[in-house]
Chain A
Amino acid sequence: KAGVTQTPRYLIKTRGQQVTLSCSPISGHRSVSWYQQTPGQGLQFLFEYFSETQRNKGNFPGRFSGRQFSNSRSEMNVSTLELGDSALYLCASSSGQARRTDTQYFGPGTRLTVL
């Protein structure tokens, strides 16, 4: 079974621009979660989508948004980029059925650099 894939793997943007990241979950998984990883803050939860609906959201500003398509693929968008948005963005997929015991499977991440 193919794992979680994320595109692109690397991105360089300038302040004020916007960016869209893509995630394809493991086949059959209906839940996709997004995390931001930085050296200072560690791994922080952005949001989770299940069956095209945002089911859970972390404490990030509204510049961070996402969506999920009917095939469970998900996109994350960051508008008006700031220097502090430079990070590794990780996507994770799970079945979404047993929320407490589900294992999340992570993709390789998208490394975003904001100049």
Chain B
Amino acid sequence: GNSVTQMEGPVTLSEEAFLTINCTYTATGYPSLFWYVQYPGEGLQLLLKATKADDKGSNKGFEATYRKETTSFHLEKGSVQVSDSAVYFCALSAWTGNQFYFGTGTSLTVIP
């Protein structure tokens, strides 16, 4: 079946620290992989995506590389800001249908 496993939170970092949020997946076939971010009281916003192995998605200083050999799509940012405080969701879209499978979310708090 299809599933996403995300590192447990919450994560608390100081401003300008390096961020890694781990995400691994299990999928039938060749999924597309996504990172979404959710700010308090809002819906999910697409952060970045990758649709095939070795693709790197990037946006607003965040990056993630689709690693088929390790079935991973870890999110990284070199220097976090207070405004990055939010909940981050890893997700996959399998070839079998227009259904997303989400990880449990990782809450990030960045302190000044």
Residues of A whose CB lies within 8 Å of any CB of B are 4, 6, 31, 33, 35, 42-43, 45, 48, 50, 55-56, 58, 90, 92, 94, 96, 99-109
Which candidate, B7-15, B17-25, B71-79, B93-101, is the interface stretch facing chain A? Answer: B93-101
Residues of B whose CB lies within 8 Å of any CB of A are 29-32, 34, 36, 41-46, 49, 51, 89, 93-95, 97-105
Q: Is the CB of B44 within 8 A of A90?
A: yes
Q: Interface SS of chain A: helix, strand, loop or mixed?
A: strand
Q: Which 7 A-B pairs have the closest CB atoms?
A: A106-B43, A43-B102, A106-B44, A56-B97, A100-B95, A99-B98, A108-B43
Residues of A within 8 A of B105 (CB): 42-43
Residues of B within 8 A of A107 (CB): 43
Compute how far the CA of A101 lies from the CA of B41 in the bound complex, rounded to whole angstroms: 27
